[in-house]
Amino acid sequence: MGLIYIDGKLIKKENAKISVFDHGFLYGDGVFEGIRSYSGFIFKFAEHIDRLYESANTIMLKMPMTKKEMSNEVIKTVKANKLKDSYIRLIVTRGVGDLGLDPRKCPKPTTIIIADKIALYPKVVYEKGIEIITVPTRRSIAEALNPQIKTLNYLNNILAKIEAINAGAPEALMLNSGGFVAECTGENIFIVKKSGLVTPATHCGILKGITRDAVIALADKRNIACKEDILTRHDLFNADECFLTGTAAEIIPVVKIDSRPIGDGKPGKMTKKLMDDFRALTKISGVKVE
């Protein structure tokens, strides 16, 4: 139906507007979450709401409602759009202020909820895998802009994405300031080595992904060892398998990095098992939209 929630009102998509003086628009001053619903159930809902509020707390953005109230507004928006399978973008900005940076000039946050469809990659990518490249743009350091905060300012990631596109690749691998593997522009990364999983530790400058955590839990159920560690490109090039995880992307096999085939150059057995497990998980868990 194309209804967008803005500060308590559901507005048709073509009429949904915010002020040009909103500091989310002017300065990227705000936080967001991307959330999925499957078959009428919102997946990992509490985890996404908790992370949104943690991001807001870190940037000293006072949320305009309780977690329960926010959750109810999300459910109301999804229900109004009559979507069973959807991608939900939940945004809270600092609100309307003036042309200065001072956040005290923004007395009231702006809340926006969008429920729509999303398809980051075609179906063939999940079947045959993706090729990624390492790009020059480094992941932001925590002392500048902590990657744990899902801020509206995604320029760091966008610049990396542009570099990948310019090189003819669909996705970019970003290193941290020390030259170690961090993550891709919108996904966490895992490798399979000697029947175990390894993924960059959070102190390597990554977002602690909710799908990432779900995959770690699924691996544990299969008694697959999973280690958070420091990784180099050398580790990736010599991995048995590799895959990416993200709310929008779900799980994507990686078959080539910087023109080097990973394993046998095809989606690996463990990756496929975890993809199946993840799809099954989305069908049996979540908060019902009612």
Helix (H, G, I), strand (E, B) or coil at 120: coil
Question: Bridge-partner residues for 33, per DSSP?
Answer: 90
Strands (E), the chain: 3-6, 9-12, 30-38, 41-42, 86-93, 110-116, 130-134, 171-175, 181-184, 188-193, 196-200, 226-229, 241-246, 250-257, 260-261, 287-288
Measured CA to CA, the distance from residue 244 to residue 192 in angstroms comes to 12
CB distance 1 to 119 below 8 Å: no
CATH value of 3-116 in 3.30.470.10, 1.20.20.10, 1.10.10.10, 3.10.310.30:
3.30.470.10
Q: Can you give the pLDDT at residue 41?
A: 96
**pLDDT over threshold 70, residue 16:** yes
Q: Can you give the pLDDT at residue 285?
A: 86
> What average pLDDT score do residues 162-185 get?
97
Task: State what percent of residues in the chain have pLDDT above 90.
Answer: 96
Q: Can you give the pLDDT at residue 213?
A: 98
Q: Can you give the pLDDT at residue 1?
A: 65
**pLDDT over threshold 90, residue 290:** no
Indicate the pTM of the whole model: 0.95
**pLDDT over threshold 80, residue 200:** yes
Which band of pLDDT confidence, cut at 50, 70 and 90, is reported for residue 25?
very high
Which class is 123-284 in CATH?
alpha beta
Domain spans of the chain, in order of start: 3-116, 123-284
- Tens-place pLDDT, residues 131-151: 999 999 999 999 999 999 999
Catalytic residues: 150
- Tens-place pLDDT, residues 81-121: 999 999 999 999 999 999 999 999 999 999 999 999 988 89
**pLDDT over threshold 90, residue 8:** yes
Measured CA to CA, the distance from residue 63 to residue 48 in angstroms comes to 15
**pLDDT over threshold 70, residue 218:** yes
- Residue 248 — left, alpha, or beta (φ > 0 → left; ψ -120 to 50 → alpha)? alpha
